[in-house]
Structure 1
Amino acid sequence: MDKLELLKHVNAFARLDDNQLALLARSVGSQTFQRGETIFHEGNIGSTLYMIVAGQVRIYTTSEAGQELTVTLFRDGDFFGEMALLDGQPRAASAEAMCRTTTLTLQRAAFLHTIDVCPAIAASVLEVMTTRLRQSNAIADQLANMSASQRVVRQLLGLASRYGTADGGIIRIDLHLTQDDLASLSGTTRETVNRVLAQLRDQGLIRVERARVSVPDFDQLEQSRE
């Protein structure tokens, strides 16, 4: 496993040069998780950043009633658990591998030492964190004024933009996405998601096969939520 080459595909480090990546690579480990395996638990003290080489990860919280609520999904090139590098505080959510997932890992002590030598690495991580926060705030503002059906469509559009791959004019969302996950992401119920997906499918706006969603016409799907 060439860690330097793998780091080039991690979004947070895309702007670093080879010398900076080589410095970072010396501090990076690797870890593989099987489908359904918990990577870390909400409330545990965190000290590790994870960078996904291949696979998919679900970030979720657990309500007082024991219900799991999906917060976001990550896949190849994404990183998660970054707050642990900065404050070493308990995890705000849990992480679970949704399929066999290989990650690069960076411990807090190694990260602090590395950024002391190369501040550009810290700047790269903070830039992505800031972008995520801005996007989360913007989405929260939008969702607050939407119906449940509109929120489901909004999430599908967001996932298509972020993880979609074009295939003959069709955008395939390259995620294993359950209705429970989509319901949590949209702040609604599984029953509502089931109904909305059925309506969108009947209208020809989406296709669903084995927990994979495809969007034949992105613009038409976007217009459907207005």
Structure 2
Amino acid sequence: MIPEHQLRQIALFKELDSAELAKLGAVIQERRIPKGSYIVYEGDPGPSMMFLLEGKAKVNLVSPEGKEIVLANLDKGEFFGEISVLTGEDRSANVVATTDCRLLVFPADEFKRHVSQYPGLAFAMMKELALRLRASSEKIGDLVLYDVYRRVARTLKGLAKLVAVGDEEKLLIEERPTHQELANMVGTSREMVTRALKGLEEDGCIIIDNKRIEVRKMPI
């Protein structure tokens, strides 16, 4: 039985009442996944949706030559696996734990039953899918319309979060990705990302401090 306070950490469940959450908690299971492990493999059957209770993960595809493309980065409270659950098809991408993770696993048949019973859950799902479609459209637009410099800038801005530092708030990436990881996110080479980061730093758009990046005014 998953307790209510844990379920409320999931954005999709925040607006549900206690009675609804109690029913969800009875059918959802918990799993722990170590850093670096595959949670989902492309092409596998998709019998469940999954929610990140703790940790971070990435959604990727890997070419036959071994080149990785990162489709999305997932944080605490987000979900994945919805495409297979809704379409009945196999998994469309891999999901890899980038930190140790705690997952909530929602069986597909139970998810469909609860969505049909609780309009609030269905609406929250539609809203989140619309936001993801918008993000995908923006990423495609970035690839078509922007050079690497601006694609890196937009990716960094998307990764950054407001953090209180003393008496002010700064837009920070507290665990900066490697140059190769950034290259996988924006669809370019590591060398091009290195040049773009150097240019952004010289232009005063970012400050790189050890493992952190402070994001300032971006050329986007």
Give the TM-score taking structure 2 as reference length.
0.88
Decide whether aligned partners of structure 1 residues 204 and 38 sit closer, same or farther in structure 2, where only a CA change above 3 A counts: same
Aligned to 2:205: 205
Displacement of 1:108: 0.4
Q: Which amino acid aligns with 1:37?
A: S
The farther-off stretch of 126-135 and 114-123 is: 114-123
Unaligned runs of 5+ in 1: none
**Structure 1: which 4+ aligned runs deviate by more than 6 Å?**
none
> Is the Cα contact below 8 Å between 2:149 and 2:196 reproduced in 1?
yes
Offset of 1:57 from its aligned partner? 0.2
Partner of 1:154: 154
TM-score calculated relative to the size of structure 1 = 0.86
Tell me which amino acid in the other structure corresponds to 2:54.
Answer: A
Instruction: Please report how far the alpha carbon of residue 202 of structure 1 lies from its aligned counterpart in structure 2 after TM superposition.
Output: 3.7
- Correspondence 1:1-226 to 2 at 5 A: 3-160=3-160, 163-167=161-165, 168-175=168-175, 177-209=177-209, 211-215=211-215, 217=216, 220=217, 222=218, 224-225=219-220
- Asked if the contact 2:2/2:26 (under 8 Å) is kept, the reply is no
Asked if structure 1 preserves the Cα contact closer than 8 Å seen for 2:174 and 2:211, the reply is: no
Give percent identity, aligned residues only.
28
Q: Deviations over 1:80-122 (max 9, x none)?
A: 1111221221111101101111111101022122223324323
Partners of 1:41 and 1:95 within 8 A in 2: yes
Letter in 1 for 2:68: E
Shift of 1:214: 2.6
For the aligned residues, what is the CA RMSD?
Answer: 2.1
Deviation for aligned residue 1:209: 4.7
How many pairs does the alignment contain? Answer: 218
Sort the Cα spacing of 1:77 and 1:59 in 2 relative to 1 into closer, same or farther, 3 A: same
Give structure 2 stretches of 5+ with no counterpart: none
Confirm or deny: 8 A CA contact 1:60 1:72 kept in the other structure. Answer: yes
The amino acid of 1:180's aligned partner reads: Q
C-alpha distance 169-117 of structure 1, shift in aligned 2 (>3 A): closer
